[in-house]
Structure 1
């Protein structure tokens, strides 16, 4: 909601209030003066009311949408574990985009990795540091394949609905965020239907999409990321030595060719409209412990190292003999913690 009362609506409201008070029937000069005075007073009241409204009802204004770079950096450093590449890319990409008053295109991020590595969590952190209402903001929109696009036979309908939904919401607020979860379960070609909105157009049918953010979440490419992490580990190199250049090319190619990817053969990749392919590395035992301690703190509990170790040891790791990487990352930490506390 833009929370703006148009001049015509203000005039209509003033006239209605005057009619209800009987002022329009008065013909004496003094009554006319009173009516004019009341109208002026009402105009001032409505202006004040509108300003008050900005603070009590979410609007597409700076009071409700304001990027907190320091907050995002702190959240990534303290709450996201084992993702040095993703943290660096996310902070730079979002900060650069939000500080640009005239971006040439929307920000498009494609987050990839196995389940439980932090993709959804990072999306939440971004929203919480842009929108006052965080993920509850009416300007943050989440789509999941199985919920919103379940039937293959209705692909054309989904394309039309998705286009209308995005256009309508960006028309309402240019600083909108769209999150597409389960991209690996999404029908190939569906995302290409919104390609024009992600391109370098100033406006489409009078609407500018340049200040919006699109985030794709997918397990596609996860095997390549895991293999790279394993190769570094087998070579005796620490994971922090893995760089984006070690993964970016193989990741984009893998996503483009994967049968389990909503971006399979997508023109978004061909046209280089995805700004960053962000890899999420498999988590190690120490990262799972950190997740457990952080969850305790979030629940208002005193972090307990012994309990955190019990939770971490209860998970499945691979390779089986060495137990290096958690199969499900930190996905089941909450339920495990319920058991041990």
Structure 2
């Protein structure tokens, strides 16, 4: 069949001119088709043969052979053998458990003992914290410091900064019962600004809340230790009375209060005895006590400070946190620090004291003192009459403001003349 093809090609070339068709334009495509057909047959024979398998070259390979391709490709058998077969992906099956099945839990014997100890430790710490918080609330409520603050703000005129600092220091100290050192409050200021009045209000309040007058000691230097008496005898008496109050407070688990007025008149022996109460080597009951010192020492320094800062008002100190110590203005803190340094030169007692300065009273504060005293004596607190009485006092006049020289010292005498 292949041998007859050239003759057919020659015959077609010879017949092409007779039909009026150019021979080259018809025979060229036919030759290309014939060559392509031969090449396809040759490639099919090569694909069907398996090299090195010992098969008959004229016999095609079986369809069941996995090494033979099932589709037509232009790759050689050697290239096909070098290809890595694809791995079939295995689908992961979702394991579903029945809802009625019970989960296997560890037995009680297999649990760690450290876990039990940890739970016990957490419970103990939580109980201690809760107990400490309750103790803080109980101690603060026992002394009714909120009521004390209201009383001081209503009865003490012209000293909002001093009242706020006193209440804040007491609140911070009385929140707990056990202390490492006593609280020493030193109230300093000129005459007539309300120091002794605050001392009386503090003694009256704590006698009422402690329900025991023996836990509050008021000591007046002029009354308990006049000049003719020996300072050594006064020192022994003060030590005995303070020891008795502290011992009684330790039995009742309360904080005693010792108010000492006119401390500037105390002899050095009494100051040494007070300083000994603050030492850490003293017995533990002496550490749980509040000492309030009322003194006019440093009054000249406070007067000079007020007159120099008359053009601006000092803000009322406010605690940074509930129950924390109050922080006033920077000028007031500098005044307290300077006053403490000045007093420490006379005696080291004031180095450990919380100094609270009482400033000069304005004229309107003196008028309030007159009205309060008139109401206490049974007179109608008329504003015009109180202002008339206040005009009889002497004042410092600075920057358009008037500060009483003697404060409310002469108010009682003036009202008694009515």
Same fold (TM over 0.5): yes
Check the 8 A contact 2:263/2:295 in 1, yes or no. Answer: yes
* Counterpart in the other structure of 1:310: 388
Secondary structure of the residue aligned to 1:121 is: helix
Q: 1:108 to 1:180 in 2, by over 3 A?
A: same
* 2:144/2:209 contact within 8 Å kept: no
Q: Out of 153-162 and 101-110, give the one that drifted further.
A: 153-162
Distance, in Å, in 2 between the alignment partners of 1:297 and 1:135 is: 29
**Deviation by residue 1:20-78 (Cα, 9 ceiling, x = unmatched):** xxxxxxxxxxxxxxxxxxxxxxxxxxxxxxxxxxxxxxxxxx9xx94111211112222
Contact 1:128 1:134 in 2 (8 A): no
* 2:164 pairs with 1:88: yes
Distance 1:97 1:288, change over 3 A: same
Contact 2:307 2:398 in 1 (8 A): no
Highest RCO, 1 vs 2 (Cα 8 Å, sep ≥ 6)? 1
Equivalents in 2 of 1:311, 1:137: separation in Å?
37
TM-score by length of structure 1 reads: 0.69
Q: Does 1:251 align with 2:339?
A: yes
| Whole-angstrom distance in 2 between the partners of 1:307 and 1:138 | 42
- Kept in 1, the 8 Å contact 2:232–2:269? The answer is no
Task: Tell me whether 1:180 sits opposite 2:268 in the alignment.
Answer: no
CA RMSD of the aligned region, Å? 2.8
> Counterpart of 1:34?
none
How far did residue 320 of structure 1 move? 9.5
* Pair 1:114 & 2:190 matched: yes
Residues in 2 aligned to 1:145 and 1:129: alpha-carbon distance in whole angstroms: 22
Q: Distance in 1 between matches of 2:357 and 2:398?
A: 23
Q: Contact between 1:114 and 1:219, CA under 8 Å: does it hold in 2?
A: yes
Segments of 4+ in structure 1 off by > 6 A? 133-136, 320-323
What is aligned with 2:144?
68
Moved more, 78-87 or 105-114: 78-87
Structure 1 residue matching 2:203: 3-state secondary structure: helix
Secondary structure in 2 aligned to 1:131? helix
Contact 2:216 2:245 in 1 (8 A): no
- Preserved CA contact (<8 Å) 2:203 2:218: no
Cα deviation for residue 229 of structure 1 reads 0.3
C-alpha distance in structure 2 between counterparts of 1:123 and 1:135, whole Å: 18
Instruction: Name which one, 1 or 2, has greater alpha-carbon Rg.
Output: 2
Closer, same or farther: CA 290–86 of 1 in aligned 2, 3 Å: same
The size of the alignment, in residue pairs, is 262
Alpha carbons 1:282, 1:329 under 8 Å: kept: yes
Partner residue of 2:286 out of 203, 209, 214: 209
Structure 2, unpaired ranges of 5+: 1-137, 317-328
1:165 Cα offset (Å): 1.8
Q: 1:127 to 1:158 in 2, by over 3 A?
A: closer
Match of 1:277 in 2: 355
**Mean CA deviation greater in 300-309 or 245-254:** 300-309
SS of the residue corresponding to residue 142 of structure 1 reads strand
Q: 1:238 aligns with which of 302, 313, 321?
A: 313
Counterpart of 2:287 in 1: which secondary structure?
coil
